[in-house]
């Protein structure tokens, strides 16, 4: 049995055609048949049978089950390759979502300074994106560690997650909006408002979805963005209201931050995370220890 056997099998499951799979990998059709035979011999089960027509393929229950494992095996191999490439380059890759990066800049600066003192800052690579995107990159092995935002208490089968902050969601609103004069709001008070929001790579969308379902209406969005500064400018111009975690600090005098009184409501958790099967280097251990304090 060879690693490529799993690749061929996965592609055959998707395409259901030996000829197309052979063409995809630029190899002969008998090579694909031999790969499937090796897998069947190794696992001592029948994986694929011919259907009523010559071109029809039917996967047995064992074949269906193996496909599930094949996807995991190939993903794990990709993650291993990314990790080993990082080790060869001696580059530590860390993911930072903009909101946590800005809110905890001092903590990040201390970690960067200590990294430079002990190792070399040129061996650190920073990737910025929303938490949802960074989580996918972390699980794929494209980055080593990441700060992540999540709703409520984060749990994951594949990631070790160390929370370091819990925060509430609030309404960020222009002082020119009449609602800004209230001391607090319920989410239902925003039913007639236009919303401006961070895009789907941020967990804030999940919070808005939960609260809108609870309030019984679908928000009307004026615009979504991945730029927190642009979002703040839209709020200042009264183009819409935004739901953000209260760790977002604004110096704009024309933006008012109001608490939400909904009960229950989701809360924001900031954590540092890495893969459970990832053996931390000395550089990564130092960053995890510093950032999780």
pLDDT tens profile 282-292: 888 999 998 88
Q: Which fold has domain 169-266?
A: D-Maltodextrin-Binding Protein; domain 2 (3.40.190)
Rounded Cα distance, 240 and 232, in Å: 10
What is the C-alpha separation between 231 and 234, in angstroms, rounded? 5
Give the separation between CA 145 and CA 288, rounded to whole angstroms. 8
The pLDDT score that the predictor gives to residue 18 is 87
Identify whether the C-beta of residue 275 lies closer than 8 Å to the C-beta of residue 141: yes
Provide the pLDDT for residue 52. Answer: 60
- The span from the CA of 173 to the CA of 183, in Å, is 12
Q: Read off the pLDDT of residues 21-40 as tens digits, 9 standing for 90 and up.
A: 888 999 998 888 898 999 88
- Banded model confidence at residue 17, pLDDT cuts 50, 70, 90: confident
Q: Using an 8 Å Cβ cutoff, are 185 and 242 in contact?
A: no
Q: Which CATH class is domain 3-86?
A: mainly alpha
pLDDT at 266: 94
251 Cβ contact list (under 8 Å, min separation 6): none
**Banded pLDDT at 237 (limits 50, 70, 90):** very high
Helix (H) or strand (E) holding 136: helix 131-139
- Chosen CATH of 90-164+269-291 out of 3.10.20.30, 3.40.190.10, 3.90.320.10, 1.20.140.10: 3.40.190.10
Q: What are the tens digits of pLDDT across the range 54-104?
A: 567 888 989 899 999 998 888 888 877 776 776 666 788 899 999 999 999
- pLDDT average, residue stretch 158-170: 93
3-state class (DSSP) for residue 289: helix
pLDDT average, residue stretch 245-255: 92
pLDDT grade for 51, boundaries at 50, 70 and 90: low
- Residues 6 or more apart whose CB falls under 8 angstroms from that of 127 comprise 93, 94, 95, 96, 134, 137, 143
Q: Is the pLDDT of residue 197 over 70?
A: yes
- Amino acid 211: pLDDT: 95
With a CB cutoff of 8 Å and minimum separation 6, the contacts of 126 are 93, 94, 95, 96
Question: Quick one: what percent of the chain has pLDDT higher than 70?
Answer: 96
Domain with CATH 3.40.190.10 in the chain: 90-164+269-291, 169-266
pLDDT band, very low/low/confident/very high, at 155 (cuts 50, 70, 90): confident
In angstroms, the CA 232 to CA 149 distance is: 19
Instruction: Provide CATH 1.10.10.10 ranges for the chain.
Output: 3-86
pLDDT score at 157: 87
């Amino acid at each position: 049995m060879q690693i490529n056997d799993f690749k061929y099998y996965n592609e055959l499951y998707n395409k259901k055609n030996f000829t197309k799979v052979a063409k995809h990998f630029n190899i002969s059709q008998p090579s694909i048949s031999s790969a499937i035979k090796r897998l069947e011999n190794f696992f001592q089960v029948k994986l694929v049978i011919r259907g009523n027509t010559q071109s029809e393929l039917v996967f047995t229950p064992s074949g269906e089950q193996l496909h599930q494992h094949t996807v995991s095996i190939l993903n794990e191999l990709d993650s291993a390759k990314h990790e080993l490439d990082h080790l060869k380059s001696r580059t530590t890759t860390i993911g930072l979502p903009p909101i946590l990066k800005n809110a905890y800049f001092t903590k990040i600066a201390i970690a960067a300074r200590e990294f430079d003192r002990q190792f070399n800052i040129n061996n650190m690579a920073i990737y910025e994106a929303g938490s949802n995107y960074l989580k996918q990159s972390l699980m794929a092995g494209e980055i080593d560690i990441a700060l992540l935002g999540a709703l409520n208490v984060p749990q994951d089968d594949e990631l070790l997650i160390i929370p370091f902050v819990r925060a509430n969601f609030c309404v960020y609103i222009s002082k020119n909006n009449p609602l800004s004069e209230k001391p607090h709001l319920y989410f239902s008070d925003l039913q007639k408002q236009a919303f401006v929001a961070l895009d789907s790579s941020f967990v804030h969308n999940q919070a808005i979805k939960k609260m809108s379902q609870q309030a019984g209406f679908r928000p009307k969005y004026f615009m979504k963005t991945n730029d927190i500064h642009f979002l703040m400018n839209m709020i200042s111009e009264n183009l819409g209201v935004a739901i953000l975690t209260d760790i977002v600090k604004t110096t704009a005098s024309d933006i008012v931050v109001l608490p939400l009184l909904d009960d229950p409501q989701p809360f924001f958790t900031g954590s540092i995370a890495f893969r459970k099967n990832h053996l931390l280097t000395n550089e990564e251990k130092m960053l995890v220890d510093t950032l999780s304090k």
